[in-house]
Amino acid sequence: MAESLLFEINPESGVESAAGADARLASALRLGSEEAYELLVARFQQPVYNLVYRLMADPGDAYDVVQEVFLKIFRNIGTFRSQSSLKTWIYRIAVNEVHNYRRWFFRHRRQEVVLEDDTEGGKSFGDTVPDRGRSPYDDALNDEKRVLIEDALARINPMFRAAVVLRDIEELSYEEIADVLEISLGTVKSRITRGREAMRRQLEGRLEPEPSFQWDPAAG
């Protein structure tokens, strides 16, 4: 019975709404459907990993944090209400787990000296999804730019970073961001603005502006 909930389609419209699909998945999860659990992992493990990776100043522990996120999802699915989408609910858990990890880190591991191992700690371009439309020259330039941007992102205030990541990387709406961060719309706007400003200041002088080509009709 739990499995059949996943595939029921509205016979009138022929297309299931996103909210309907979320509710069905949540119901199946609450009923303990193995298929629902598998579907949840398949659908969200990549986006959650990407989000957690971008939110953390040191992404080396993203793997562990993502596992904690999913454990929280499995154990708290009973508290999911359809007022928000499943995605924003899950993202909220992810943001909170990153915040919890940061607090734990500062309490317990800040004094440790970490020996950086570039082969394991840092992500190389090969660990990302490649863009086949770019040349190797473009890739080299973009790789350098990517490193600068990621570095700048890691340096800004975590609250602003979350807002910028959710807006400019995850492309959530202001309302969805307010739902994820559990803040008002006004605070969302403020954090996005201040986050972008902070990024701009970090990148000032380090990142060459892209050439802007303007057509001058007088030049013929």
Partner 1 sequence: MSRYLDNRLEEQERKGVEVHLASCGECATRHERMEELRRNLRSLPIVRAPRKLATELQVLASRELVRRRSTSSVAARMQFWAERARLLMDNLMRPLALPAVGGGLTSALFIFGMLMNLGYLRTAANDTPSTLYTEASVVKMAAFTSHTNSSDDTVIEVQIDGRGHMVDYNVLQGQMTGEMGNLLLFATFTPATMFLQPTSGKVVIRRSQIVVKG
Contact positions toward partner 1, by CB under 8 A?
32, 34, 37-38, 40-42, 45-46, 49-50, 53-54, 59, 63, 66-67, 70-71, 74-75, 123, 125, 127-131, 142, 145-146, 149-150, 153, 164, 167-169, 171, 174, 189, 192-193, 196, 199-200, 203, 207, 209-210, 212
- 111 or 142: CB nearest partner 1: 142
- Measured between alpha carbons, how far is residue 131 from residues 58, 126, 135, 136, 178 in Å? 25, 11, 9, 10, 32
- Measured between alpha carbons, how far is residue 197 from residues 61, 190, 204 in Å? 27, 11, 10
Write down the least CB distance from residue 140 to partner 1, Å. Answer: 14
Write down the least CB distance from residue 69 to partner 1, Å. Answer: 10
- 128 or 157: CB nearest partner 1: 128
Taking Cα atoms as reference points, which of 87, 93, 117, 103 lies closest to residue 19? 87
Residues recorded for the chain: 220
Write down the least CB distance from residue 199 to partner 1, Å. Answer: 6
The span from the CA of 34 to the CA of 198, in Å, is 45
